Amino acid sequence: AELAKSSTPSEKDLRSPICCILGHVDTGKTKLLDKIRQTNVQGGEAGGITQQIGATYFPVDAIKQKTAVMSKFEKQTFDVPGLLIIDTPGHESFTNLRSRGSSLCNIAILVIDIMHGLEQQTIESIKLLRDRKAPFIVALNKIDRLYDWKTIPNNSFRDSFAQQEKSVQAEFQNRYEAIRVALAEQGLNSELYFQNKNMSKYVSIVPTSAVTGEGVPDLLWLLLELTQKRMSKQLMYLSKVEATILEVKVVEGFGYTIDVVLSNGILREGDRVVLCGLNGPIATNIRALLTPPPSRELRIKSEYVHHKEVKAALGVKIAANDLEKAVAGSRLIVVGEDDDEEEIMEEVMDDLTGLLDSVDTSGRGVVVQASTLGSLEALLDFLKDMKIPVMSIGLGPVYKRDVMKACTMLEKAPELAIMLCFDVKVDKEAEQYAEEQKIKIFNADIIYHLFDQFTAYQEKLLEIRRKDFMEYAVLPCVLKTVQIINKRNPMIIGVDVVEGAVRVGTPICAVRQDPATKQPNIMVLGKVVSLEVNHKSSNEVKKGQTNAGVAMRLENPSAAQPVWGRHVDESDNLYSLISRKSIDTLKDPAFRDTVSRDDWLLIKKLKPVFDIK
């Protein structure tokens, strides 16, 4: 009953904004959430903060109390009934709080550790927030760790900061400026929130301590200020239901249940609802709408409170039949009296089929599998940015049939014969099959880690190719003999580099025209085993690099070495041994980067010498 009252829309008919917390691991997301939730010292029970499913609800009274210390600096109006903060910090809930590609999170808090600055997941979070066009503020956390920080518990940052020593203020300023620069490198302009004159262009930074509670009033004040002043349109109370599944869970006595964030409208017991399932759309009836009991003591007696209806915004558990294959990140659509259920089933599956746009039409690419619609979408966005082609997408555990899809790449593009899996189970049989077929399965729950594994694997493959094809990767050069030093194996010749560069490992040849066939007669002198300039050995000598001669030592294991003075002499140009195969090898990704534009021009020039078409 208490919950129903607190979630009743206010007179002004704005609903509560929904807030998510993101950031790198250990920046203090959980601690900050705990601190925000904590009841106020002087107020005791802070005006009915309620624990919901996957979220905490802060009625406006609680926020008033918590932001009271701000009245010295800022006016506050309270137009929204409260604030709904999602309890699971991190990417997971943010990515799943989605509807047709846009975020249902009205405002996010990106937590950055002031002592560490931007970290990998900070950058990943910024990308996510930007992709979903979600407004956010930065909590610059752990200010209490600044050397000599004097704590005034639960104070506003502005007041606490004014009372610090000059040295503390200076350290803060240094760290803050460095983080601003780092944010600018990510394309974000930022400003301390109370100096921010342009909230739509500049991200607001709120310094906080999740341990002392300092800055938390500033944070809450800003959340409310931003959402009600700048987003009142999105916060209009609608009768149309807007709801997203955050988690699918088994609960004793209820079977499979879904944890849902209702961001708009009303849900009622008995409602017919449609949602996206692993194997197709699911239509079912709400059997129970559940929230935790209002206080902890009651939790022992009854696990959940049942509701006849619930109003946005809130987190609620839904019990119903057939939820086993429900997908987190899916919308939940209520089937109205005049609605065509079949049509709605199609509509809800659009969430998944819409992602098929990211699949490469040429059929080349990796296989992508994720646990939820939200993470699948985020992963696909990321792969698109990284220009990694995707051949097929899927949800849920990896089975043999998924691995088989990747197998089709073994012939076409072996470097893409892999599966990128985000937080999913891999079936035993699938794992075995992948091993037999040499399909790599990468499984991680951080997008960056998947990407790192992918790039490391690509580099490893290239390294293997480089080793395997080294002898065919011949770069072009033209040499002129200055002096023959030793005619027999090992041949030692003093040369000038006329074009290109000569390298250790390069096979060297002379070419004369066969008088009978008029075809080039290619005579291999041997492979370069060492190069010496001015008695210093070198791995590579480029054209124009030295005025001195280059002493080139060649070894030829075959008996068929041309005889100096008979088959070849000082008048012959010497070349690196170029062939169709060597040219193709240089075009391979493993070597492409080692070939310069000038190298390609020289190869083109030398093609007629070797009669290569």
Q: Which residues bind ligand GDP (CB under 6 A)?
A: 23, 25-31, 89, 141-142, 144-145, 209-211
What's the min distance (Å) between Cβ of 149 and ligand GDP?
A: 9
How does DSSP classify residue 566?
Answer: T
Residue 141 vs 481, nearer CB to ligand GDP: 141
Assign 272 to helix, strand or coil.
strand
Burial (0-12, 13-18, 19+ Cβ within 10 Å), 26: middle
What's the min distance (Å) between Cβ of 35 and ligand GDP?
A: 8
CA nearest neighbour of 310 among 290, 326, 285, 325:
290
What's the min distance (Å) between Cβ of 122 and ligand GDP?
A: 11
The three-point CA angle 79-160-37 to 5° equals: 45
Q: What's 68-102 look like in SS3?
A: HHHHHCCCCCCCCCEEEEECCCCHHHHHHCEECCE
Q: 């006016």: which residue's tokens?
A: 75
- Length in residues, the chain: 613
What's the min distance (Å) between Cβ of 111 and ligand GDP?
A: 6
How does DSSP classify residue 239?
Answer: S
What's the min distance (Å) between Cβ of 32 and ligand GDP?
A: 6
Residues 6+ apart with CB under 8 A from 9: 15, 81, 237, 311
Residue 31 vs 465, nearer CB to ligand GDP: 31
Residue 30 vs 232, nearer CB to ligand GDP: 30
What's the min distance (Å) between Cβ of 30 and ligand GDP?
A: 3
Interatomic CA distance for residues 364 and 410, integer angstroms = 10
Residues 6+ apart with CB under 8 A from 103: 94, 97, 132, 133, 134
Query: Would you tell me how many other CB atoms lie within 10 Å of the CB of residue 127?
Result: 17
Residue 26 vs 452, nearer CB to ligand GDP: 26
Residue 35 vs 465, nearer CB to ligand GDP: 35
Q: Which residue is nearest to ligand GDP (CB)?
A: 28
What's the min distance (Å) between Cβ of 217 and ligand GDP?
A: 15
Residue 24 vs 440, nearer CB to ligand GDP: 24
Residue 23 vs 315, nearer CB to ligand GDP: 23
What's the min distance (Å) between Cβ of 83 and ligand GDP?
A: 19
CA nearest neighbour of 199 among 154, 138, 252, 142:
138
Residue 89 vs 265, nearer CB to ligand GDP: 89
H or E segment and range at residue 205 = strand 203-207
What's the min distance (Å) between Cβ of 375 and ligand GDP?
A: 18
Residue 140 vs 379, nearer CB to ligand GDP: 140
Retrieve residue 317's tokens. 């558990």
* CA dist 104 → 16, 110, 433, 462 (Å): 12, 16, 40, 42
